[in-house]
Amino acid sequence: MNETTVRIESNGIKEEFDFGRIARQASGSVMYRQGKAVLIAAVAVDRKPVDEDFLPLTVQYIEKAYAAAKIPGGFIKRESKPSDFETLTSRIIDRSVRPLFPDGFTYPVTLSILVVSSDPEVDLQVAALHAANAALLVSEIPVEESVAAVRMGRIDGTFVANPTLTQMESSTLDLFVTGKGEELMMIEMRAIASEKIDDVEYDPMGLDAGMAPMPIVLEHQETNALSETELMEVLGQATAAIAEASTLYQGEMLPHKATRRIPVTPRDLVTERWTALITEKYASELNSAIQAAAKSERAEGLRDLVEQIIAEADDPEAALAEREAIKAAVEQCKKKRVRAMILEEGVRADGRKLDEVRPIAIETNLLPSVHGSCLFTRGQTQALVTATLGDSKGAQMYEMLQSKQTQNERFMVHYNFPGFSVGEAKHISAPGRRELGHGNLAKRALEPVIDLNMDGSIRLVSEILESNGSSSMATVCGGSLALCGAEVDVSDLVAGVAMGLVIEGDRHAVLTDIMGLEDHDGDMDFKVTGTRDGITALQMDIKLGGLDPAILAEALEQARAGRLHILEIMEQARAEIRPSGALPSIEHFTINPSKIVDVIGKAGSTIREIIEKFEVAIDLDRDQGGVKVTGHDAAKVSAAKAHIEKIAGAPERKQMQYEVGKTYHGSVKKIVDFGLFVEMPDGYDALLHISKVAKGRVNDLHERYREGDPIDVVVLEQKGRKVELATLEYVGK
């Protein structure tokens, strides 16, 4: 390809695409620019297709530290394991571009996106998707349609397309949408909680005499959940923005597509002979396998059917050689039958109605040594979710390419999916992209209802013990109740439900609470989480070319009904929660900020004494006078609180004005390497530096003095609270 530059301005952003300039041995490549951000996207194709009937697509989004003029933090000074943001961005790109590939394209494809220059105001997820899309459009891969992305925010009550990152800091909505033309293909949405001043109280301890009491602002969380009507409104705006951009990309870039195309040669393993035979002779066995009560029984039934067909064939040896074709035929017949049952009979494989939620069972605080726990079971999906409370030191530190400062993640959700949850014999390993994605979805769902003013950290861990669809939504439901079990201050319960869709021609059916079979054989995976008031998070993937907004509105309303049904059951479970015996006792209170120094004491001596005496942990807010005392013994925590309030309530002592050159009688308060702390007659501690101690026969202060010993000192100088002392021998008295 000759060097070509395409410049496009759409939806408030200006983009520049350089083709034929870099990575020319790749199947397709582009150097993308937006502001000061520069990304390189390249697609490479293996010329040998895989035997299985699927697209082996690998997407790698990688941020280079040098892009922000940084050296990687940590011991190893080169990029290594991808960050969570890089992994989640890779998943977003994969889910957005995968539907663009033609049916039957089974060549291994690697799509790499490198951030080589960053801009603190550029949305790198939007930029990365557009760069990846451009590389595909000009590549040898027979991709003829363009996707586009738009991020929608809600700032001061108004929906804004593609806000800058600075503007997003004040947004109450984060909605990332991709699509082609007027068809939506993927949605990621989260509500962003905000604070609102709801009331003002006054510190009963007041300030110094003669001053007004100190006001305490009580800030409450506003969830900012989005109603179904509001969501449809903002999705309408997003659709218009996507249609504008994708049309421009397609028109400007397709003329530069590689002239050589990789051929698509679909291999039809499912011959008419096998599908016809199954339909004619084995319809009853197929129905029995599909309608098996358990997922494992269903899989076993389908495997048995394959073996039965081989055994009963006219030529078993020839049939055995065509095992893969028979398996593919059974799979196709199974998918066709499942969809027909839904569309024609309104019945699902497990006998449920289209809008029916599977039976739910909930156990709370079942783990005695855990702060909060919940075993949430819905059908054959089961999640054990635990909540652990920690102090601010328990937060996860991480770095973002576009931020100069280290970030702290105080609310963490970790999702684990062991092989035994689906009956697979495989070892438990580090979390992959799927685990990170599901954990991130649950975090986005629950975060809006957690108190923004928490001064500690919270870690939720979801162990999936059994899975047959919608384990991420079980994590949300179980996580919400685990937080309640740990007595975390949450504004509302949050429930989640996974929706499905089956479309054939002009017929369609929306399914509530889909199981694995319906996810696999359906046309949409649509997860919705929220409270009674609205939606807190949403994730949608379309396996078709796109989705009609009218069908989306229907799915949202049906999801709302399912969510309310689940919330009703969760509310009953919350009412029966018994506090965990492992919960720490916590006291939050305020004192006069000027008294914080007295609580700390000289060199931290007072606060250390309180911590050791009462066996507690103490966090102090110097600016607001906030005090948090934590411990496992409620009586000791209360005693520590009373002790701190006594210190803070003590009358202000005025420091003496010492006479320079005069001798004062004090006592040794503490011996340190650089001198002695001397308690003066008025109770204040002053430093007698080692250089002002007269040389004696024994130079070691620990041998010459003992704490509590009386000592006579001479005042050399006083500047405010700082007093300089010397021994009598030093000044020759």
Task: List pLDDT tens digits, range 112-127.
Answer: 999 999 999 999 999 9
The pLDDT of residue 517 is 83
Determine, yes or no, domain membership for 263. Answer: no
CA pair distance 540, 563, nearest whole angstrom: 16
For the chain, give the mean pLDDT. Answer: 86
Which has the minimum average pLDDT: 132-146, 307-321, 464-478? 307-321
- Which domain does 448 fall in, by range? 360-420+438-575
Residues 341 and 367 placed together within one structural domain of the fold = no
Residues 560 and 450 placed together within one structural domain of the fold = yes
Where residue 687 falls among pLDDT bands split at 50, 70, 90? confident
Determine, yes or no, domain membership for 262. Answer: no
Which amino acid type is present at position 683? G
The pLDDT of residue 1 is 66
Where residue 302 falls among pLDDT bands split at 50, 70, 90? confident
CB 371 within 8 A of CB 582: yes
Whether the per-residue pLDDT at 358 is higher than 80: the answer is yes
Which of 221, 256, 291 finishes a domain? 256
Residues 234 and 365 placed together within one structural domain of the fold = no
Determine, yes or no, domain membership for 657. Answer: no
CB 480 within 8 A of CB 563: no
Whether the per-residue pLDDT at 598 is higher than 70: the answer is yes
CA pair distance 216, 200, nearest whole angstrom: 6
Q: Tokens at residue 688, please?
A: 């007698």
- Cβ count near 199 (within 10 Å): 9
Residues 124 and 238 placed together within one structural domain of the fold = yes
Residues 622 and 697 placed together within one structural domain of the fold = no
Residues 375 and 494 placed together within one structural domain of the fold = yes
Determine, yes or no, domain membership for 352. Answer: no
Kindly list the distances between the CA atom of residue 384 and the CA atoms of 301, 388, 467, 478, in Å, as whole numbers in the listed order.
29, 13, 12, 7
Residues 276 and 366 placed together within one structural domain of the fold = no
Q: Tokens at residue 420, please?
A: 């035994």
Kindly list the distances between the CA atom of residue 51 and the CA atoms of 99, 268, 321, 585, in Å, as whole numbers in the listed order.
20, 11, 15, 60
Determine, yes or no, domain membership for 658. Answer: no
Where residue 217 falls among pLDDT bands split at 50, 70, 90? very low
CB 525 within 8 A of CB 500: yes
Average pLDDT over residues 476-504: 93
Residues 6 or more apart from 496 whose CB is under 8 A from it? 442, 445, 470, 472, 473, 474, 475, 476, 477, 527, 528, 529, 530, 537, 563, 566
User: How do residues 238-293 score in pLDDT, each as one tens digit?
Assistant: 999 999 999 999 999 999 998 888 888 766 655 677 888 888 888 888 888 887 76
The pLDDT of residue 267 is 60
Q: Tokens at residue 346, please?
A: 């309104």
Nearest by Cα to 40 from 25, 61, 10: 61
Kindly list the distances between the CA atom of residue 552 and the CA atoms of 499, 500, 520, in Å, as whole numbers in the listed order.
11, 11, 19
Higher pLDDT among residues 253 and 312, named by residue? 253
Which of 256, 285, 318 finishes a domain? 256
CA pair distance 413, 416, nearest whole angstrom: 10
CA pair distance 717, 659, nearest whole angstrom: 8
Q: Please count the structural domains in the chain.
A: 5
Residues 396 and 535 placed together within one structural domain of the fold = yes
Residues 16 and 104 placed together within one structural domain of the fold = yes
The pLDDT of residue 680 is 86
- Cβ count near 297 (within 10 Å): 13
Residues 168 and 249 placed together within one structural domain of the fold = yes
- Cβ count near 282 (within 10 Å): 18
CA pair distance 366, 375, nearest whole angstrom: 8
Burial class from Cβ neighbours inside 10 Å (0-12, 13-18, 19+) for residue 59 reads buried
Whether the per-residue pLDDT at 205 is higher than 50: the answer is no
Which has the minimum average pLDDT: 545-549, 585-589, 724-728? 545-549
Residues 289 and 319 placed together within one structural domain of the fold = yes
Whether the per-residue pLDDT at 209 is higher than 70: the answer is no
Residues 385 and 276 placed together within one structural domain of the fold = no
pTM equals 0.79
CA pair distance 705, 711, nearest whole angstrom: 9
The pLDDT of residue 208 is 33
Determine, yes or no, domain membership for 654. Answer: no
Whether the per-residue pLDDT at 200 is higher than 80: the answer is no
End-to-end CA gap in the chain: 95
pLDDT > 70: percent of the chain: 93
- The CATH number that applies at residue 135 is 3.30.230.70
Whether the per-residue pLDDT at 49 is higher than 50: the answer is yes
DSSP letter at 668?
A: E
Determine, yes or no, domain membership for 494. Answer: yes
Which of 256, 284, 302 finishes a domain? 256
pLDDT > 90: percent of the chain: 45
Q: Which residue has the tokens 């989306």?
A: 552
Determine, yes or no, domain membership for 107. Answer: yes
